[in-house]
Amino acid sequence: MRTLTIILSLICMAFTANAAKADKRVAFVVGNGTYKNVAALPNPAIDAKSMAGVLRNIGFDVVEGTNLTRDKMTERLLEFGKKAQGADVALFFYAGHGIAISGTNYLLPIDADIKSEMDVKLGAAINIDLTLDQTMGDAKVKLVFLDACRDNPFAAKMKSNSATRSVNVQTGLAEMKSGEGTLIAFATGPGQTALDGQEGTNSPFTRALLANIATPGVEIQQAMTKVRAQVNEETNKGQLPWGHTNLIGTVYLNPTAAPAAAAPAGPASSAAPAAVASTSPNSDVEVEFWRSVRESNKPEELNAYLTNYPNGQFKSLALARIASLQDGPSTQTRNLTAGIDPAVFNEQSNQTTEDQIGLDKGQRRDVQRRLNGLGFDTKVTGKFDEPTRSVITRWQSARGYPKSGYLNKLQHKALLTEIVATTPTASSDDSEEKKPARRAQRSGGGGGGGSHRGGDPGAFVGGVVGGMMGGMFRR
């Protein structure tokens, strides 16, 4: 009887692990800034990239876009609408120009050219109410963040072309009501305009969202209270985010691990995603931010990283990259394409091409150290194990080389040209890695005792259950 009880408990654990994975969370994230018919906005694209990175880190399937035309924006919305059907949490984030006409809010694609109210009504702009209803109406929890409360760039043109009839062109965005299970947050109050922030950084509203909504264990409405306080303080009380909520339960975007019995009761508790603990959420956000700008040829995007992370772990790389863009090659790095054989962008790589290079253990350590120096974190062991293969793939992807996780002669040569400074001396990782390697040789058949670490908890529990039940049937 005791054995049966254990088996049932393990089966329940397996179902719980699968249930955590089953939570469906989808986000639409778009930033429009390079407008063709009005002055460009410097920060929406940066805001969107930052937000997409944060949401992916906490388990969202993100439909992302920057500087989209009307047609491209419609494509992304259709994709988002399909993915959001039956979602537990659907999130909508937009940064860019938005306008309000006669109490209705619209988002502006970058190719919008609005001369009259008729242009808006015929589809030059995107009706927010209709869009949210069509794409998110089926989701259990709907979260909407609009960093679009800027001055209407077409207001003067619309008023000058409406001599024969009155047109109500408003400042900022109009008030919106939220339906059941919905939270809507604006960068500032109805009819007011929001700040775009210093060029090359996040806007005050987006920066506050990034700092608070993914904090482990903080409920979304508590997070929004912190967002309002941060923006109010940062702008010297010049901007106060506003919102309307009709949530019917607690919602955590990044809950802390807790016993199942502690989960809140009620219809919204099922919409709150299962506990997804993040060991270092702030570090994850910083890494994602750096990845989004590290290959940029725009100093302002690299400065955005430095502004948000003045003592960040990639500070020296950002400064070196800025120096190379502004003053030519610096003493630390070279232009990534200088002296590179164009064939490197097309030639495939595999185990055979890597073997042809003939890298010994010391040269493999050198490759690992160089990857570390470029911001691709890997242990310096002299062995190209699975984690190192993954890092090589990321480096290849960042450079535009064919991705495989294996090197060829051209890629290896290209890597050697990226760092001009003296190659770093061997780290303590080298000597430390040798010891466990020797111990592993003496240990013989360990049977893979720790193979489940970091793996699929459902698969591990299922394996235990299968083994126990198989043993019972053999008796």
**What local confidence, expressed as pLDDT, does residue 473 receive?**
39
Position 133 pLDDT exceeds 50: yes
**396 within 8 A of 411, measured Cβ to Cβ:** yes
Q: Which tokens in the block code for residue 127?
A: 């009706």
Residue-wise pLDDT for 16-41, tens only, equals 444 334 489 999 999 999 999 888 88
Position 395 pLDDT exceeds 60: yes
Confidence of residue 466 (pLDDT cuts 50, 70, 90): very low
Position 277 pLDDT exceeds 60: no
Q: Identity (one letter) of the amino acid at 445? A: G
Query: Comparing 259 with 43, which gets the higher pLDDT?
Result: 43
What are the DSSP E strand ranges found in 366-423?
Answer: none
Q: How far is it, in rounded angstroms, from Cα 222 to Cα 31? A: 25
**304 within 8 A of 293, measured Cβ to Cβ:** yes
E strand or H helix at 371: helix 361-373
Instruction: Name, in order, each residue with C-beta under 8 angstroms of 20's C-beta and a sequence gap of 6 or more.
Output: 274, 275, 276
Burial of 106 (0-12, 13-18, 19+ CB in 10 A): buried
On the CB side of 377, how many CA atoms lie within 13 Å of its CA? Answer: 6
Q: Which tokens in the block code for residue 315?
A: 């500070």
Residue-wise pLDDT for 305-324, tens only, equals 777 777 777 776 787 677 66
Confidence of residue 378 (pLDDT cuts 50, 70, 90): confident
**What local confidence, expressed as pLDDT, does residue 339 receive?**
57
**What local confidence, expressed as pLDDT, does residue 453 receive?**
36
- Pairing mode, strands 126-127 and 98-101: unpaired
**What local confidence, expressed as pLDDT, does residue 322 receive?**
77
Mean pLDDT (whole number) for 159-187: 66
With H, G, I as helix, E, B as strand and everything else as coil, classify residue 104.
strand
Confidence of residue 169 (pLDDT cuts 50, 70, 90): low
Mean pLDDT (whole number) for 336-356: 81
**What local confidence, expressed as pLDDT, does residue 121 receive?**
74
**What local confidence, expressed as pLDDT, does residue 472 receive?**
40
185-189-195-196 Cα dihedral, nearest 10 degrees: 30
DSSP 167: -
Position 52 pLDDT exceeds 80: yes
Q: How far is it, in rounded angstroms, from Cα 187 to Cα 167? A: 25
E strand or H helix at 327: helix 315-327
Q: Is the torsion defined by CA of 64, 65, 69, 72 positive or negative? A: negative
Q: How far is it, in rounded angstroms, from Cα 324 to Cα 157? A: 43
Q: Provide the whole-model pTM.
A: 0.53
Residue-wise pLDDT for 222-238, tens only, equals 999 999 999 988 888 88
**What local confidence, expressed as pLDDT, does residue 411 receive?**
93
Residue-wise pLDDT for 322-339, tens only, equals 766 665 433 333 344 445
**71 within 8 A of 113, measured Cβ to Cβ:** no
**What local confidence, expressed as pLDDT, does residue 152 receive?**
64
Position 64 pLDDT exceeds 60: yes
Please state the separation of Cα 46 from the chain's center in Å.
Answer: 11
Q: How many CB atoms lie within 10 A of CB 262?
A: 7
Query: Comparing 201 with 191, which gets the higher pLDDT?
Result: 201
Position 147 pLDDT exceeds 70: yes
**φ, ψ for residue 168, nearest 5 deg:** -95, 90
Position 200 pLDDT exceeds 80: no
**What local confidence, expressed as pLDDT, does residue 462 receive?**
44
**157 within 8 A of 115, measured Cβ to Cβ:** yes
Length, in residues, of the chain = 475
Burial of 312 (0-12, 13-18, 19+ CB in 10 A): middle
**What local confidence, expressed as pLDDT, does residue 272 receive?**
41
Position 298 pLDDT exceeds 50: yes
Confidence of residue 431 (pLDDT cuts 50, 70, 90): very low
For 11-31, what is the HEC assignment? Answer: HHHHHHHHHHHHCCEEEEEEE
Query: Comparing 149 with 211, which gets the higher pLDDT?
Result: 211
**What local confidence, expressed as pLDDT, does residue 66 receive?**
96
**What local confidence, expressed as pLDDT, does residue 286 receive?**
75
Query: Comparing 19 with 125, which gets the higher pLDDT?
Result: 125
Paired residues of 104 in beta bridges: 101
**What local confidence, expressed as pLDDT, does residue 209 receive?**
95
**What local confidence, expressed as pLDDT, does residue 280 receive?**
43
Cα–Cα distances in angstroms (integers) from residue 153 to residues 43, 317, 353, in the given order: 16, 38, 56
**What local confidence, expressed as pLDDT, does residue 150 receive?**
59
Q: How far is it, in rounded angstroms, from Cα 311 to Cα 330? A: 21
Q: How far is it, in rounded angstroms, from Cα 46 to Cα 202? A: 6
**What local confidence, expressed as pLDDT, does residue 328 receive?**
42
**468 within 8 A of 2, measured Cβ to Cβ:** no
- The rounded mean pLDDT for the chain is 74
Q: How far is it, in rounded angstroms, from Cα 420 to Cα 423? A: 8
Q: How many CB atoms lie within 10 A of CB 454?
A: 7
Instruction: Name, in order, each residue with C-beta under 8 angstroms of 197's C-beta and a sequence gap of 6 or more.
Output: 43, 203, 204, 207
**φ, ψ for residue 244, nearest 5 deg:** -140, 130
Q: How far is it, in rounded angstroms, from Cα 294 to Cα 246? A: 40
Q: How far is it, in rounded angstroms, from Cα 189 to Cα 23? A: 33
What is the maximum alpha-carbon separation in the chain?
Answer: 92
